[in-house]
Amino acid sequence: MIHFFRNSVAGIALPERFTNPFHYTPHALCVEAVREVQEYLSGMELWKRKPDEGKMFGVLIVRTPDNRIGFLAAFSGILDGSYLHPYFVPPVYNLQAPDGFFTQEEQHISTINEQIRQIENDPDYQQARQDLTAKSSQAEQALSTAKAKLKADKATRDLQRSRNPQDIDTSALIRESQFQKAEYKRLEKHWKEQVGEIQHRIDEFTKRIETLKAERKQRSAKLQQRLFEQFRLLNARGEEKNLFDLFREEGQNNPPAGAGECAAPKLLQFAYKHGLHPVAMAEFWWGCSPKTEIRRQGYYYPACQGKCGPILHFMLQGLNTEQPDLPEERQFTEFPEIVYEDQWLLVVNKPAGMLSVPGKTPRLSVLDLTRQAYPEATGPLLVHRLDMATSGLLLIAKSKSVHEHLQKQFLAHTVRKRYTALLDGNVPANEGVISLPLCPDIHDRPRQIVNETFGKPAITRYQVLERTERHTRIAFYPQTGRTHQLRVHAAHPLGLNCPIVGDSLYGKKAERLYLHSEYIEFVHPATGQKMQLEKPADF
C-alpha cells in the first residue's frame, strides 16, 4: 500500500511537526503525493461510468523503518461500492467482510424490511384502509345530516313554544326531543361499530408491522453498538480505543454515522499497524460536488470536527503535532469609520477581520468599541451583524426604542442592502435569483449546507457588474439574512458555482474575503425619512 514518489523529493525538507488536520496548509510533499494520486484517479474507469461521483481522498507522508519517504492514499467511506481498492489503504473495519457479523445481521434486518413491505402491500390491508376511509366518510356525512336535523327540529320546537306557549303540549315536545336524541345516539353507535370493525382489521396488520419495526430497531441498535466496538483505533503511543469509548469521553452517547470511515483515520491506522512513522497529511476532494455540501475538485479541506474530532484527537497522541495554522489576527482598537451619525443612530464601515460582536477570543468587536464610545447609549445597539471576514456598512441604534423600530424593519424585509463581491470564476448570466435553503452542517460547524428538508429559505438576487478573464465582479441583493448566505449561494453548484475570492470555507484562502456591504436603505425611526447610505468597496 505504500507508494514511493516517481519524481525525486530529495530537495524537499521534512516538516518539523506533523500536520494539524483541522488547520493546515498542505506541505510540499503532500502536494506532490496528491498530484500522483490525482493522476491515478484520472485514469479510473469509475469517473467515466459515474460522472456525478465525488469523494474525499487523503494522503499521508510516511517514513519507513529504513528511513525511506513514501506516501499512503485513502478515500472516505466507500468507493464504487467497495471498501477495498488495491491503490488505497483498507478500512479500519471492513463492513463488507462476507463472514463478518455486520453482513449477516444486515441480512436479518433486510429480511425484516421485506416482511414489513409485504404486509404494507397486502391486498387485504390496502382494501381495509380504503374501506376505512370510505366508511368514515359515510359515517361523518350521516351523522352530520342527523345532527343538522336535530338542530332544525329543535329550532322548530323553540319557535312553537315562543308563538303559542299556552296551546302547546310541552310534554310532547320534550318526548320528541328525547326520542330524537336517543335515535342520534343509536345512529352514532351504529356507525362507530361499522368503522370499528374495519379498524380492527387494520389493527391486526399494524400490530404485526409495529412488532417487526420494534425488532428491527432493537437489532439495529445492537448492531450499531457492536460495530462501534469493532472500530479499534490506535495512536502513536500504541494505545487502542474503540469508537464508542472515544465519543463517550467527549460527552456524546453515540458516534455519528460514518465515523471512523474517513480518509484520515484510515491512513493513520494503517501507518501505526505497519510501523510507518506519520510525517504529514492532507485531504482533498475529487469529482463532482455533493448536493448539500460545497466541495470543489482538487481543493484541500480540513478534517471535520463532528465525525473526526474525537477520533483524531486520540490518534494524534504521541505525535509532535503543529499548532493550528491560523491567519495572524489583526487587533482593532480604534472605532470604525463613521459613515452617518445623528442623535438616534449611526452607520459605520466595519473593516474585514473585525468582529461585529464579542467572540471566543478577547479581541475587541464593534459592539465593544460602541459601548466604550457611547457609554450613555442603551439597548442592544447593533441592529444586525456582518461576518468577521466581511467588510461594510453596519447599522447601530443608540437607544432600545430605536433598535426595536429598526429590528421590525429587518423582520418585515423592508431594509434594502447591497453587497459587492469578487467571485473566482465566470458567471454566465447577467442577473438572476438564487433560492437555496440553508442550515448548519452539524458535523462541520460553522459551515452551512443546502438542505431542502431542514434548511430555512434563503433568497439572493444578483447582478453582474464586470467580468475579467478569471473573476466576476457582482452585486448581491439578499432578500433573506441567513448565516453565510451569500458565500454559499456564490459557491454552490446549484447557485453561481463561483466562490467568493478569499473564502476559506467554501473556496480558497486569500489575503481577505472579497465581500463588502456597500449600501443600506431603511426608514429613519425618528424622522420617517428614507435613509440611503453607501460606502463603495475598496477592492
Cα(280)–Cα(18) distance, rounded to whole angstroms? 5
Please give the pLDDT value at position 103. 82
Whether the CB-CB separation of 512 and 370 falls below 8 Å is answered with: no
Locate 175 and state its grid cell. Answer: 318526548
Is residue 91 predicted with pLDDT exceeding 60?
yes
Whether residue 420 contacts residue 519, with contact meaning beta carbons closer than 8 Å, is answered with no
Average pLDDT of every residue of the chain: 94
3-state secondary structure string across 283-328? EEEEECCCCCCCCCCCCECCCCHHHHHHHHHHHCCCCCECCCCCCC
CA dist., res. 347 & res. 336, Å (int): 10
Q: How much is the pLDDT for 100?
A: 75
Please state the rounded mean pLDDT for residues 8-17: 94
> What mean pLDDT comes out for the span 43-48?
91
- As beta bridge partners, residue 71 has 3, 61
Give the tens place of pLDDT for each residue, 253-279.
889 888 999 999 999 999 999 999 999
Overall average pLDDT of the 334-347 stretch: 97
Q: How does pLDDT run across 442-501, given as a tens digit for each residue?
A: 888 889 999 999 999 999 999 999 999 999 999 999 999 999 999 999 999 999 999 999
Looking up cell 488505497, which residue turns up?
Answer: 88
224: amino acid identity, one letter: Q
What is the CATH topology of the domain spanning 337-534? Pseudouridine synthase (3.30.2350)
Give the number of other Cβ atoms within 10 Å of residue 492's Cβ.
24
Q: Is the pLDDT of residue 313 over 90?
A: yes
Q: Alpha-carbon distance 185 to 146, whole Å?
A: 10
Q: How many CA atoms lie within 13 A of 309 on its CB side?
A: 15
Q: Summarize pLDDT for 413-429 with one digit per residue, the tens.
A: 999 999 999 999 999 99
Report the pLDDT value the prediction gives residue 225, as an integer from 0 to 100: 83
Query: Per-residue pLDDT averaged across 62-71, rounded?
Result: 97
Helices marked H in 43-169 — which ranges? Answer: 46-49, 101-120, 123-163
What value does the mean pLDDT take over residues 190-209? 97
Contact residues for 157 (Cβ-Cβ < 8 A; gap 6+): 173, 176, 177
Residue 25 DSSP one-character state = -
Contact 435, 459 (CB under 8 A): yes
419 alpha carbon, distance to own chain's centre: 24
pLDDT in tens, 226-255: 888 889 999 999 999 999 999 999 888 889
| HSE-CB of 332 using CA atoms within 13 angstroms | 22
According to DSSP, the β-strands at 345-350 and 391-397 are antiparallel
- For residues 42-59, give the mean pLDDT: 93
CA distance 105 to 340: 68
* pLDDT of the residue at 285: 97
Quote the pLDDT of residue 464. Answer: 98
Q: CA 229 from chain center: how many Å?
A: 27
User: Residue 75, Cβ neighbours under 10 Å: how many?
Assistant: 24
Which residue is listed with cell 495572524?
328
CA distance 314 to 264: 12
Look at residue 235 in the predicted model and tell me its pLDDT. 97
Q: How far apart are CA 393 and CA 534, in angstroms?
A: 8
Which phi and psi angles does 219 have, rounded to 5°?
-65, -40
Q: What residues pair up with 420 in beta bridges, in sequence order?
A: 475, 516
* Rounded average pLDDT over 297-318: 94
CA distances from 512 to 354, 392, 393, 409, 415 (A): 12, 13, 17, 31, 27
B/e letters for 117-129, b = 16+ CB within 10 Å, e = fewer, are eeeeeeeebeebe
* Pairwise CA distance, residues 505 & 499, whole Å: 9
Is the pLDDT confidence value at 323 over 90? no
Rounded alpha-carbon distances, angstroms, from residue 52 to 55, 74, 295: 10, 20, 13
Pairing relation of β-strands 416-424 and 471-478?
Answer: antiparallel
Predicted local distance difference test score (pLDDT) of residue 328: 54
DSSP structural state of residue 448: E
User: What is the three-class DSSP state of 482?
Assistant: coil
In the chain, domain spans: 28-93+231-315, 118-226, 337-534
- Alpha-carbon distance of 389 to 474, in angstroms, equals 18
End-to-end Cα separation, the chain, in angstroms? 48
Which residue, among 10, 60, 4, 22, has the nearest Cα to 323 in the 3D structure?
22
Q: In what order do the strands lie in the sheet with 54-63?
A: 69-75, 54-63, 277-287
Q: How confident is the model at residue 221 (pLDDT cuts 50, 70, 90)?
A: confident
- Is residue 325 over pLDDT 50? no
Q: Give the residue numbers marked as catalytic.
A: 387
Give pLDDT, residue 331.
81
Residue 394 scores a pLDDT above 70:
yes
Q: What's the CA gap between 293 and 308, in Å, rounded?
A: 17
Residue 14 to residue 11: CA distance in whole angstroms:
9
412/415 Cα distance (integer angstroms):
8
Look at residue 454 and give its three-state secondary structure: coil
DSSP 458: -
For the segment 143-185, what is each residue's pLDDT rounded down to a tens digit? 999 999 999 999 999 888 888 777 778 888 899 999 999 999 9
